[in-house]
Structure 1
Amino acid sequence: MKALIVDDELFCRENLKFIIGEYCPEITSIAQAGSAEEARQYFSESDADILFLDIKMPNENGFELLESISNKNLSVIFTTAHNEYALKAIKAQAIDYLEKPINIEDLQDAVKKAGVKAKKPNNSLEEIKALIRRTANEKIAIPMREGYEIIAYQDIVHLEASESYTMIYLTNGKKLLSSKNIKVYEDKLDSEVFFRTHKSHIINLQYHIKGFSRIDGNSAVMSNGKQIPIARRKLQVFLDRIADM
């Protein structure tokens, strides 16, 4: 199989190339590109079975590069040092990604999966593009006294009932007091992303769950450090959900 490594950092490209050469004998050709523009130039002249794609790159990121690639049988393996919100959705869809520093066993597993995909026609690249677009567009209009504020799903950590209002906690530390009650948000928010743990709480299970604690009762540990109570009747469903992550 032929592979292309796209990463703006030379050290990362060389390191991944070395590891692939040592531990992935099924890959017989390894090319490199230091930018999305260089990658497009490569694809205009050649082809690849596997694309190792960094997300964070200057000028044009990995997701933007994918939009300009038309090879339907290309297997994409994302590489990143950042636990991006989009990567969580990608992982949930069983699309491979490797966190830096690269783990050899994870790399070998990802390459084996890519080898299986390469043997049969598939539309995985289009599915990845659609997933990225869908994830990037996940937003909600928050009714405020003064009007509406548009917030992306990944920016919401959790929601808390405040009498007939709802307090919404954001990743930047900001809090929004919405004029709608929490039941409105339970019905409106995507249940694949959010989970109501308690009559007074909804958490962002897809992007901001950090752990589970039994200290002082069952609670979900969020990315902002808050511990959100989990009602007894909700506990097993919660545990099943995080076990599938």
Structure 2
Amino acid sequence: MRKKIIAGNWKMNKTTSETVTLINQLKPLVATEDADVVFCVPAISLTTAVEAAKGSNIQIGAENMHFEENGAYTGEIAPGMLDDIGVRYVIIGHSERREYFAETDVTVNKKVLKAFEHGITPIICCGESLTQREQGVTIDFIRQQIKIAFLNVTPEQAKTAVIAYEPIWAIGTGKVATSAQAQEVCKAIRECVAEIYDTDTAAAIRIQYGGSVTADSAAELFSQPDIDGGLVGGASLKPDFGKIVNYK
């Protein structure tokens, strides 16, 4: 049985000192053995977050990472830098990175491969726009994202990856896909992974739902057979995140 994974994507929020305060506040609220808990924090606070989370069940993730080991890439962060400070997860291909910073399916694949090289678990994001959903191409579009993201990824690596399905129309809008809509797409993602690899790999990989997840919607979403937790935005910055982690 797949263990649930609940990850908070802090985005561009919280100063370094505020990060320590929030982690200390959330530690007792997210303490559980039933799910993996990850806080993906701004780059400037990663080292501080790793220190603040020590002794708890919280793992720290980055919100982005470059696909080169080093070089003239002003403002970027190399995978070895993350590995060196104890970062264990990284969000790759979030829709905001694609929209505002020109990330593509190809660069997502490069980052996924590099994350695995360094033993960092990628949280690979996929999702459709409102127009794509209305035009009935959601599944086709997401299958393309998944197939390119996993190019040259081994079955052993794929089994440890996390996929986050985030319908773009539901991110930060207060709109949440119904549990049936979310399950339909997550099931299609798992079927796509089975086509790329095999049923064992598809059964092992964890698929999250993201997009305005709240304490009220978490239980129904996470009870779906192909949804293994959530990638949570705004709600991960509040005490309510504890209710999402302990959704049962």
Q: TM class by shorter-chain length?
A: under 0.3
Q: Rg: which structure is higher? A: 1
**Which protein has greater RCO, CA pairs closer than 8 Å, 6+ apart?**
2
What TM-score comes out, normalization by structure 2 length? 0.28
Report which of the two has the higher share of helix: 2
Query: Relative to total residues, which structure has the larger strand share, 1 or 2?
Result: 1
